[in-house]
Amino acid sequence: MNIMLKKIEEIYELSPFCTPNMSCLAITNTCNLKCKYCYQNQDAQEILNAEVWLTFLDHFRNSSSDDKLVTITGGEPLISKDSRNTVARISKKAKEEEMTVTMVSNGMHFKDFFLEHSMDNIDCFDISVDGPENINDSIRGKGSYKKAMEGLKVLQANNVKQIFISSVLSVSSSPNVLENFLKEMIEKGINNFVFHCLAPGQKKKNRDMMVQDENFLKILASLQKVQQTNTAKEIIIDVYPASFKDFEKMSSKIYLEEIFLDENNFYIGVAGKNLFLRFVNDINLLITTMYLSPNGSAYLPMEQSENRFFGSINDIKKGNPNKNKVRNLIENIKLDCLDKQCFKFCLGQNIFC
């Protein structure tokens, strides 16, 4: 049996009645970019006002005594003055409730936000950049790289300590290019990175953009090489089994020094010095994370479609709105999955088949 999958199976413990300790608040679906792979629906829809988000934070805080993480995202959360005001109010409230606050942004409106509000209530800024300028701009739009770097300078000029560069791995991600990109970012003072493997999602064309299995292994090797000489503080690669043609075969070629289950119920594989693979699937997303769209509907992250809808913002008052969804997943395990090595990743739901 694949050693890595066997180890994960040994440590995996599912608790379908736990309460999410992470909330992803998509406060707007409007964005000034149109990234080729983006799953976000930018059609006009009802947007919750700030008061509703603040009320939600009260219920979220009281849902359990666990440490809470709030991620503010969009669309682009800083796209307008109104959205920036909402970000400021949410982050202030969350910090008052002793929650950790992060924000995912394309970085183009950091200057506007800083001029209007304090950044002190946001613990971590995550800037989306998909590689060096030519590759980034081919995916995210011409000029987006330079504007993101301008945003980075704004954060650094205001002594923001926790900054991540977040990149989507795609067919355009070659090992050599990523290696040079990483070195460039480290020279700019960035020491934290998250790379996301592109999953099919709702956009069928995303399948054509997904990184190939063998190329992923080469990318991993190049990142390991960078860490030997240009050590970043942390490099995380989010690995979705659905991102690969043959996840089992691909994963069997990865040597991991250690695999453990972290406090957020994610499998973490140590692939080198400060280099981690974070394995993500439907189950641990449902258990740990509440994704709330701009109108307050709750969805499984990255799957905003009717068959993934499982509640609303008000359901947090009743406990974990994910309970029934997880229970339903468990009750409908496919019997022909029981002897498969990938069983523990999707609990026999054929989610990744």
Distance of CA 141 to the CA centre of its chain: 21
Higher pLDDT, 227 or 13: 227
Residue found by looking up tokens 């109010």 in the block = 89
Asked if residue 231 has pLDDT above 80, the reply is no
**Sorting pLDDT into bands at 50, 70 and 90, what band is 20?**
low
**Sorting pLDDT into bands at 50, 70 and 90, what band is 236?**
very high
DSSP 123-179: SEEEEE--SSHHHHHHHH-TTHHHHHHHHHHHHHHTT---EEEEEEE-TT--HHHHH
- pLDDT per residue over 257-311, tens digit each? 887 767 666 778 888 889 999 877 655 565 567 777 787 766 544 444 333 334 4
Return the pLDDT at 43.
61
Of 15-19, 23-27, 171-175, 200-204, which range is least confident?
A: 15-19
Of 95-99, 193-197, 214-218, 338-342, which range is least confident?
A: 338-342
Asked if residue 59 has pLDDT above 70, the reply is yes
Does the domain made of 3-346 have the CATH classification 1.10.260.40? no
Residue 21 and residue 264 in contact, taking contact as beta carbons nearer than 8 Å? yes
Residue found by looking up tokens 């988000």 in the block = 53
**Sorting pLDDT into bands at 50, 70 and 90, what band is 19?**
low
Return the pLDDT at 287.
57
Return the pLDDT at 185.
95
Tell me the percentage of the chain whose pLDDT exceeds 90: 40
Name the residue type at position 210: M
Return the pLDDT at 316.
43
Q: CB-based burial of residue 93 (10 Å sphere; 0-12 exposed, 13-18 middle, 19+ buried)?
A: buried
Return the pLDDT at 11.
40
Q: Which residues make beta-bridge pairs with 125?
A: 103, 163
Residue found by looking up tokens 């969804």 in the block = 325
Asked if residue 206 has pLDDT above 80, the reply is no
Return the pLDDT at 268.
81
- pLDDT per residue over 313-334, tens digit each? 444 444 444 445 544 544 554 5
Domain residue limits, the chain: 3-346
Whole-structure pTM value: 0.81
- pLDDT per residue over 116-126, tens digit each? 999 899 999 99
**Sorting pLDDT into bands at 50, 70 and 90, what band is 84?**
very high
**Sorting pLDDT into bands at 50, 70 and 90, what band is 245?**
confident
| DSSP β-ladder status, 289-292 and 275-279 | unpaired
Top-ranked range on mean pLDDT: pick from 6-20, 191-205, 211-225, 272-286: 211-225
List, in sequence order, every beta strand (DSSP E) within the chain. Answer: 22-26, 69-73, 100-105, 124-128, 163-169, 192-197, 234-239, 258-261, 267-272, 275-279, 289-292, 297-299, 309-312
Q: Work out the average pLDDT over 89-115.
A: 96
Asked if residue 232 has pLDDT above 80, the reply is yes
**Sorting pLDDT into bands at 50, 70 and 90, what band is 188?**
very high
**Tokens coding 256:** 């991991």
Mean pLDDT of the chain: 78
Q: Work out the average pLDDT over 60-84.
A: 87
Q: Work out the average pLDDT over 49-74.
A: 83
Top-ranked range on mean pLDDT: pick from 13-27, 149-163, 250-264, 301-315: 149-163
Higher pLDDT, 347 or 276: 276
